[in-house]
């Protein structure tokens, strides 16, 4: 079975528990359950992870490089700071989708720039947690093409 990685960066473990006015009421476990349903229906294996540590996210990207057909990543604050995550993603020869729950372009100017976008096939922002589903559907479409 083909494997897809969904990776989540720092503080996203708090999803649904703090700042619902920005990030909504769904928890990361809810997001994982929805992604798993979509992946199961498409016959894909889903690896879903969250870490607050940059090196851990990079290690998972290296893993994905070896055994995945696509990556969906919400790098959270590392989006705006991490050349290391960008470099890791650039070694992956597969579709990569960057997801942001909030509309980063409507927020502080430091959130307007993304290093990760340089490696992304597509970017989804401001669609709430549904952004993960949209990215997964797009990835499935690409895999079936
Ligand atoms: O909108 C997004 O998905 C972000 O990637 C979320 C990051 C932020 O730094 C980016 O600029 C945009 C922050 C993730 C923090 O997640 C929390 C979730 C619930 C409560 C508190 C933080």
Residue 66's CB is within 10 A of a number of other CB atoms, namely 8
Which two structure tokens, joined as six digits, stand for 5?
Answer: 């990685």
Q: What is the dihedral of CA 105, 113, 92, 128, to 10 degrees?
A: -20
8 Å CB contact between 8 and 76 = yes
* Residue-wise pLDDT tens digits, 96-120: 999 999 999 999 999 999 999 999 9
Per-residue b or e along 68-102, where b marks 16 or more CB atoms closer than 10 Å to that residue's CB: bbbbbbbbbebbbebeebbebbeebebbbbbbbbb
Which two structure tokens, joined as six digits, stand for 81?
Answer: 């700071």
- Say if residue 108 is exposed, middle or buried (CB neighbours under 10 Å; 0-12, 13-18, 19+): exposed
8 Å CB contact between 101 and 74 = yes
pLDDT of residue 128: 97
Which two structure tokens, joined as six digits, stand for 18?
Answer: 């703090």
CA–centroid distance, residue 23 to ligand 1 (Å): 7
Please give the CATH architecture assigned to the domain spanning 2-144: 3-Layer(aba) Sandwich (3.40)
* Residue-wise pLDDT tens digits, 6-51: 999 999 999 999 888 999 899 999 999 999 999 999 999 999 999 9
Q: Which atom of ligand 1 is nearest to the CA of 100?
A: 3
Q: Which residue, judged by its Cα, is nearest atom 13 of ligand 1?
A: 76
Distance CA 29, CA 44 (A): 18
Give the predicted TM-score (pTM) of the model: 0.98
Pocket flag, ligand 1, residue 8 (CB < 6 Å): no
Pocket-testing residue among 27, 51, 104, ligand 1, by greatest number of atoms within 8 A of Cβ: 104
Pocket flag, ligand 1, residue 22 (CB < 6 Å): no
Q: Which atom of ligand 1 is nearest to the CA of 111?
A: 11
pLDDT at 132 over 90: yes
8 Å CB contact between 17 and 26 = no
* Residue-wise pLDDT tens digits, 43-96: 999 999 999 999 999 999 999 999 999 999 999 999 999 999 999 999 999 999
Residue ranges covered by each domain of the chain: 2-144
Distance CA 3, CA 35 (A): 13
Q: Which residue, judged by its Cα, is nearest atom 9 of ligand 1?
A: 77
């Amino acid at each position: 079975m083909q494997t897809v990685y969904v990776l989540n960066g720092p503080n996203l473990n708090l999803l649904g528990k703090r700042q619902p006015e920005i990030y909504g009421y769904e928890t990361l476990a809810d997001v994982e359950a929805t992604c798993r349903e979509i992946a199961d229906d498409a016959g894909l294996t889903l690896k879903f992870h969250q870490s607050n540590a940059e090196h851990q996210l990079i290690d998972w990207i290296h893993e994905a490089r070896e055994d995945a057909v696509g990556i969906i990543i919400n790098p959270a604050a590392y989006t705006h700071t991490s050349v290391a995550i960008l470099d890791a993603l650039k070694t992956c020869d597969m579709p990569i989708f960057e997801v942001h729950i909030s509309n980063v372009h409507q927020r502080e100017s430091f959130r307007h720039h993304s290093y990760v976008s340089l490696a992304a096939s597509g970017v989804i922002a401001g669609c709430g947690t549904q952004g993960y589903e949209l990215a997964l559907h797009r990835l499935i479409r690409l895999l079936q093409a």
